[in-house]
């Protein structure tokens, strides 16, 4: 559980950040309530750090992503031990865009992308000062899994610089892992389904040879009706790109939840 000191620091940091960006009162309260449920000290500390380090960004589109997209930092739950060497975060964009309306100006929300990569973190690598630099062709290829250019730059700044890879190799790895990962068709059908955690887990294991029962974590957010909706899936890998055991298991979803594919 979060210490009372860390809770205070995290909430103060979030309030300072959202006030600086003048985020709407309703969206801010909803965002803060959800973040307060994060029950991992390292993830919470990283979340506060991401917001502090990113507070100088002034783009409205970019700040909208930072306001909720940093939930991807929950990937820290799966990178701290000698199990997984890297974690790929997959965002179920229809649900995320609908549950967080202030993200509506992001490309994945505008274009109706069913799924988006929202981070790729490599463990235990030194951070560099390498600048974001990709060819127009690679930008186009990468945009298929990370549509928004500002988000790509933010992912590089927060995770890519600390991956031990150059910008082209970092995003080449992301597109390769994303293209090889097989997800149930229900996640991109444009319809809504009720799933059990065990049922979705079985489908993932069946579709991805070599995947282990503890190679992924689910994250959910409640909708206005109080129903839990699947928003993110984090997948863990070793340094050879093979599925690996996540260092920590997440319990951010109940045994049953909704998959909302409708925009």
The better pLDDT of the pair 65, 219 is held by 219
Q: Is the pLDDT of residue 38 over 60?
A: no
For the entire predicted model, the pTM comes to 0.71
How far apart, in Å, are the Cα atoms of 45 and each of 49, 94, 110, 117, 164? Answer: 6, 28, 31, 22, 22
Residue 52: count other Cβ atoms within 10 Å of its Cβ: 12
- Gap between the Cα atoms of 245 and 237, Å rounded: 7
Q: What is the pLDDT of residues 203-236, one digit of tens each?
A: 999 999 999 999 999 999 999 999 999 999 999 9
- Gap between the Cα atoms of 37 and 222, Å rounded: 11
- Gap between the Cα atoms of 172 and 150, Å rounded: 18
The pLDDT score that the predictor gives to residue 82 is 41
Q: How confident is the model at residue 254 (pLDDT cuts 50, 70, 90)?
A: very high
Q: Is the pLDDT of residue 49 over 50?
A: no
pLDDT-wise least confident of 10-24, 121-135, 182-196, 249-263: 10-24
The pLDDT score that the predictor gives to residue 83 is 55
- Average pLDDT of 99-117? 93
The pLDDT score that the predictor gives to residue 168 is 97
The pLDDT score that the predictor gives to residue 40 is 37
Q: Is the pLDDT of residue 36 over 90?
A: no
Q: What is the mean pLDDT of the chain?
A: 76
- Gap between the Cα atoms of 128 and 113, Å rounded: 32
Q: In the chain, what percentage of residues exceed pLDDT 90? A: 60
The pLDDT score that the predictor gives to residue 243 is 97
């Amino acid at each position: 559980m979060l210490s009372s000191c860390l809770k205070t620091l995290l909430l103060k940091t979030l309030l300072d950040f959202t006030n600086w960006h003048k985020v709407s009162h309703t969206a801010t309260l909803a965002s803060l309530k959800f973040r307060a449920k994060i029950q991992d000290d390292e993830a919470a500390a990283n979340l506060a750090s991401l917001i502090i380090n990113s507070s100088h960004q002034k783009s409205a589109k970019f700040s909208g992503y930072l306001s909720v997209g940093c939930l991807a930092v929950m990937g820290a739950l799966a990178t701290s031990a000698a199990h997984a060497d890297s974690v790929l975060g997959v965002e179920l964009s229809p649900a995320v865009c609908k549950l967080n309306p202030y993200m509506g100006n992001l490309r994945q929300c505008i274009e109706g992308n069913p799924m988006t990569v929202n981070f790729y973190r490599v463990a235990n690598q030194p951070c560099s000062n390498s600048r974001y630099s990709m060819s127009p062709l690679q930008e186009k290829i990468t945009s298929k899994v990370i549509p928004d250019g500002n988000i790509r730059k933010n992912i590089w700044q927060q995770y890519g610089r600390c991956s031990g890879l150059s910008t082209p190799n970092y995003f080449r790895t992301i597109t390769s892992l994303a293209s090889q990962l097989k997800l149930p068709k229900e996640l991109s059908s444009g319809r809504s389904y009720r799933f059990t955690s065990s049922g979705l887990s079985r489908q993932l294991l069946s579709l991805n040879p070599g995947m282990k029962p503890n190679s992924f974590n689910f994250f959910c957010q409640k909708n206005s009706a109080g129903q839990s909706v699947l928003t993110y899936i984090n997948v863990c890998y070793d340094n050879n790109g093979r599925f690996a055991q996540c260092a920590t298991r997440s319990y951010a979803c109940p045994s049953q939840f909704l998959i909302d594919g409708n925009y």
